């Protein structure tokens, strides 16, 4: 299925990293004359924290949008759980168990935190429209079950005290956390995080790092994250893809990437 060794292994801190769950093959994405992603291949293993880093405009967010179905690449294949994925709409990808957050926070501002997180359970909705309209039978049972799951997530991310607050009133850092809660409520197989720490202060960053590690540890969720903050990436991730001008210039464990000359030139060498 792929060139990498398919066997699972155990990390130094005792987490089990499984087989390849998603394989991106020769992805090329163009917007008119601009090539955002040039012929990039990489894989994502079950249970790992996979980072995509690179300077501004490197194509990181485009890559995340390709994975989540917001963009469809002109060339290349996406293999998910051993099957080639046909072109899909974002909501179909979401229903496959891939949840995401956005760089510029996309929450439902007029709704409460609880309602926002509840929308994360929409992928698990089976009751018919009619049964929902009458709030009867299956719909009622489902609502209760969803609510239990959501309360667990809310507990886990320590946002109980703002459950009933409309999201529009929350400060930035908490909004990011609510967005993570909504994604987690879906019980995702893969969690995509687009700059989860952008614009946060040091304390908020530490909290967020802790939550990301806890999610991965506790639920075994595979996490793909894009991040600017190099320190954070190196501490958090198992493997790192480095992008620059739409091309892949490095791929490997944080330490390998750190010592890669092309990466140093493109990114680490530049002070920011």
Partner 1 sequence: MEMLSKIFVEPFADMVAAPDFLMQVIWEGLVSGVLYALIALGFVLIFRSSRIFNFAQGIMVVFAALTLVGLHAMGIPAWVSVALTLVVMFIIAVAIERIVLRPLVGQPDIILFMATIGITLFLVGTGETIFGGENKVMITSELGIPTGDVVLEPFGGFLLLQHLDITVVISAALLVCALLVFLGKTQMGRAIRALGDDHQAALSVGISLQTIWVLVWFVSGIIALVTGIAWGARAGVSFALEIIAFKALPVLMLGGLESITGAIIGGLAIGVLEKMFEIYWGQPLLGGNTEVWFAYVLALGVLLFRPQGLFGEKIIERV
Distance CA 184, CA 179 (A): 9
What residues form DSSP beta bridges with 112?
166
125, two tokens: 């909705």
Q: Edge to edge, what strands does the sheet with 190-194 contain?
A: 98-100, 190-194, 222-226, 49-53, 239-244, 247-252
- Measured CA to CA, the distance from residue 271 to residue 1 in angstroms comes to 40
Using the minimum distance from each CB to partner 1, give the nearer residue, 80 or 267. Answer: 80
Q: Binder to partner 1 among 94, 157, 240, 263 (CB under 8 A)?
A: 94
By CB under 8 A, which span of 12-20, 73-81, 142-150, 244-252 interacts with partner 1? Answer: 142-150
Q: Does the protein bind partner 1 through residue 141 (CB under 8 A)?
A: no
28 touches partner 1 (CB under 8 A): no
- Residues 85 and 152: their CA atoms lie apart, in Å, by 32
Contact with partner 1 (CB under 8 A) among 143, 151, 187, 217: 143
Cα–Cα distance between 153 and 64 in angstroms, integer? Answer: 24
Decide: is 187 part of the binding site for partner 1 (CB under 8 A): no
Rg (Cα) of the chain, in Å, rounded? 19
Q: What are phi and psi of 158, to 5 degrees?
A: 55, 50
Tell which positions 100-119 bind partner 1, by CB under 8 A.
100, 102, 106-111, 115-116, 118-119
| Nearer Cβ to partner 1 (177/248) | 177
Binding site for partner 1 (CB under 8 A): 68, 70, 89-91, 94-95, 99-100, 102, 106-111, 115-116, 118-123, 125, 127, 129, 132-133, 135, 139, 142-143, 146, 182-183, 186
């Amino acid at each position: 299925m792929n060139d990498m060794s398919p066997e699972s292994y155990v990390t130094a801190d005792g987490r089990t990293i499984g087989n390849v769950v998603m394989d991106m093959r020769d992805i090329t994405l163009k917007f008119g004359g601009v090539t955002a992603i040039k012929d990039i291949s990489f894989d994502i293993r079950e249970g790992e924290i996979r980072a995509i880093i690179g300077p501004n405009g490197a194509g990181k967010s485009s890559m995340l949008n390709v994975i989540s179905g917001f963009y469809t690449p002109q060339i290349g294949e996406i293999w998910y759980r051993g099957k080639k994925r046909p072109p899909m709409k974002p909501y179909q990808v979401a229903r496959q168990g891939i949840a995401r957050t956005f760089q510029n926070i996309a929450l439902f501002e007029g709704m409460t935190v609880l309602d926002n997180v509840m929308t994360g359970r929409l992928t698990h909705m089976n009751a018919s429209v009619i049964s929902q309209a009458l709030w009867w039978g299956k719909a009622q049972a489902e609502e209760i079950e969803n609510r239990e799951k959501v309360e667990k997530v809310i507990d886990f991310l320590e946002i109980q005290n703002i459950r009933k607050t409309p999201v529009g009133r929350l400060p930035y850092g908490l909004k990011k956390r609510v967005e993570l809660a909504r994604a987690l409520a879906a019980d995702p197989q893969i969690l995509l995080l687009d700059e989860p720490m952008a614009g946060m202060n040091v304390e908020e960053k530490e909290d967020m790092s802790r939550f990301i590690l806890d999610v991965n540890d506790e639920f075994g969720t595979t996490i793909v994250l894009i991040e600017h903050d190099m320190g954070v990436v190196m501490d958090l991730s198992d493997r790192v893809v480095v992008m620059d001008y739409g091309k892949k210039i490095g791929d490997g464990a944080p330490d390998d990437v750190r010592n890669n000359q092309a990466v140093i030139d493109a990114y680490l060498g530049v002070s920011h």
